[in-house]
Amino acid sequence: MKPVLEFANVTVSFGGLKAVNDVSFTVYEGQIFGLIGPNGAGKTTAFNAITGFYKPDKGDILFYGESIVGKPTWWISRKGISRTFQNIRLFKNLTVLDNVRIALHQTARYGLFDAAARLTPRFATREEEVLSVSAELLQSVGLYDEKDKIASQLPYGKQRELEIARALALKPKLLLLDEPAAGMNPTETRELAKYIKEIRDRLGITVFVIEHHMDLVMTICEEIAVMDFGVKIAQGKPEDIKNDPRVIAAYLGQEVEESA
């Protein structure tokens, strides 16, 4: 198996707080890799370090063997790492199609369309090409029938799927999803699980998903790492993680706090 992302002994601090404390794990090509842990464990901070938003104090982050530490966020996304955020960030008053078109235009500004692909004889104008690629993308993720709907009118689960579709406009090799099932009911969560699996299976994209609740990751991830208070406390297959006493303790502590 080929390593896509190597997170090696990474520490990220905010003042005296080590939000990520000497954490290591490797995500392999074609995997759906999960990172779980109670609120405040340091999961989003890990994503922010990968995407170049925060610079680690220590450690290294390799993408296909190349260090991406200290590189600007646009460079990292151009290299092939795309992400979604914990809160939905769509243009709510625009259509589904327009949301994807805008994402593609942003991509073009980064020069992601290579010269060979740009304005092939199939397309008379740049806009025609963008429209065609947007339609293709929506088809590939099963949202094409929704293309003329206003984003805010989609059910919550579909808005999440659209957000993921926008992240795919950047043609990533690695897709980072930050709590994609947050606020979803069990039916929506099952639908999302199917959707994420299809992205991996059909588009061949490696997926790295953060979750606070365990349901989604347990069904879709082949490998799961667990963080608590900035430290990695466990890693393994879903069955092992579910039964790991350290993981159970971390989550029980959280439940006590939440109900207090």
Ligand X SMILES: Nc1ncnc2c1ncn2[C@@H]1O[C@H](COP(=O)(O)OP(=O)(O)O)[C@@H](O)[C@H]1O
For residue 15, give Cα distances in angstroms to 31, 56, 113.
34, 13, 40
For residue 45, state whether it binds Mg ion (rule: CB under 5 A): no
Closest approach of Mg ion to the CB of residue 29, in Å: 25
Shortest distance (Å) from residue 25 CB to Mg ion: 17
The vertex-28 CA angle with 26 and 34, nearest 5°, equals 70
Whole-angstrom CA distances from 54 to 29, 48, 49, 202, 236 are: 24, 6, 5, 32, 27
Nearer to Mg ion, 81 or 209 (CB): 209
51 is an interface residue for Mg ion by CB under 5 A: no
Start-to-end Cα distance in the chain: 45
The residues binding ligand X (CB under 6 A) are 14, 17, 19, 37, 39-45
Contacted by 80, from ligand X, Mg ion, none: CB < 5 to 8 Å by type: none
The interface partner of residue 19, options being Mg ion, ligand X, none and the CB cut-off 5 to 8 Å by kind, is: ligand X
* Shortest spacing between CB 47 and ligand X, in angstroms: 8
Positive or negative: CA dihedral 246, 248, 253, 254: positive
Q: Which does 42 bind (CB under 5 to 8 A by kind): ligand X, Mg ion, none?
A: ligand X
Contact residues toward Mg ion (CB under 5 A) are 43-44
